[in-house]
Amino acid sequence: MKNLIYVSGIKLYAFHGCLEEETKIGGHYVVNIKIETNFGNSADLDDLTKTIDYVTVNQLVESEMKIPSKLIEHVGKRIFTKIKAAFLSCTKLEVHIVKLSPPINGDVDSVSIVISDFE
């Protein structure tokens, strides 16, 4: 059986960007994680150790978002790699990073990237 777990709307303040001021001033980000796994056993047994721990997912995201990078693509790749390594039961993963109010020449709400091995 395949099941999905979402950890959505992880709100963070981080210091990513190619512009010097972005690394000094920082900005607001939202990260969404989608994980395919089989949590049938944990659902039957009511056992956290048999599923994906949301707390750990959130901690991994927060930890990687604290490391400044020029590109959110780079941060997304790091998050993807860490979650895959932490949870062997993760069969598919999607990492979606949203940068709110990016400092680009225009009225833009956000820019975002998605790294996924879902079809």
pLDDT > 70: percent of the chain: 100
Q: What pLDDT, on the 0 to 100 scale, is given for residue 37? A: 97
Rounded distance between C-alpha atoms, residue 90 and residue 10, angstroms: 19
Q: What is the pTM of this model?
A: 0.95
Residue labelled with tokens 């998050």: 79
119 pLDDT tier (thresholds 50, 70, 90): confident
Q: What pLDDT, on the 0 to 100 scale, is given for residue 20? A: 87
Rounded distance between C-alpha atoms, residue 108 and residue 88, angstroms: 38
Determine the 3-state secondary structure of 52 from DSSP.
coil
Which residue ranges form the domains of the chain, and what is each CATH number? 3-103 (3.30.1130.10)
Rounded distance between C-alpha atoms, residue 92 and residue 35, angstroms: 6
Per-residue pLDDT tens digits for 21-74: 888 999 999 999 999 999 999 999 999 999 999 999 999 999 999 999 999 999
